[in-house]
Amino acid sequence: MKFNLYSAWMDPLFYLAAGLFAAALFFLVYSISKYLEIANSSHFEEESEEDADLQDELPLAGASAAGPAVVEPASAAAAAPEAASAPVQAIAEPVVEAAPVRAEPAQEAAHEVSKAEEFVKGLYQSMSSLDGRMKGIETALAKAKVNREFTVTFLEDMLNDFDALSKEKIKARIDYLLSDLKK
């Protein structure tokens, strides 16, 4: 069977297959985007439910949700003399309303740590551990430098006194030097 590319372009089944492929690809991208929206928005919906719970617990939220109070005519007549003296009392004593209780941002932030914050904390921990290791290396090098200087001066002194030293003293000094280098 001889396949000609030109004949594929002329075949309506090719266009049908290409259309189905394009529709399937579009549906796949659309589905993935909707899934990501749902996955990302579920986090925010939980917060809004928590905020609603906090609003229910607030003392002022219950009063505003109850709606306006219905005033009976008999009680309105009795309240009229009290209402006349109320402005005088309001001037004399300022009324302090309780502020709505809000959860502290630090507590909310403590519960939810973003990936970026975790990454930065990981970097700081790595840097601090690296800093500790570098200090250990620096102290080891400083100690090795002291040992190296001691070794050089010790060997120079041995060379200067080589003619005056006996074989046992040279051996004792070399043993002492080796034991010091092994430390």
Q: Where are the domains of the chain?
A: 1-66, 129-183
pLDDT of residue 64: 47
DSSP conformation class of 70: P
134-154: string of b/e by CB count within 10 Å (b at 16+)?
eeeeeeeeeeeeeeeeeeeee
- Asked whether residue 48 carries a pLDDT value surpassing 70, the answer given is no
Tokens of 136: 């250990």
Which secondary structure element, helix H or strand E, spans residue 155, and what is its range? helix 115-160
Phi, psi angles (nearest 5°) of residue 83:
-65, -30
Q: pLDDT tens digits, residue range 91-141?
A: 555 555 555 555 555 555 555 678 888 888 888 888 888 888 888 888 887
Distance CA 100, CA 104 (A): 12
Specify the pTM. Answer: 0.24
Average pLDDT over residues 29-55: 72
Pick 141 or 22 by higher pLDDT: 22
The HSE-up count of residue 52 (CA atoms within 13 Å, CB side) is 6
Most distant CA atoms of the chain, gap in Å: 127
User: 108 is written with which tokens?
Assistant: 């909310």
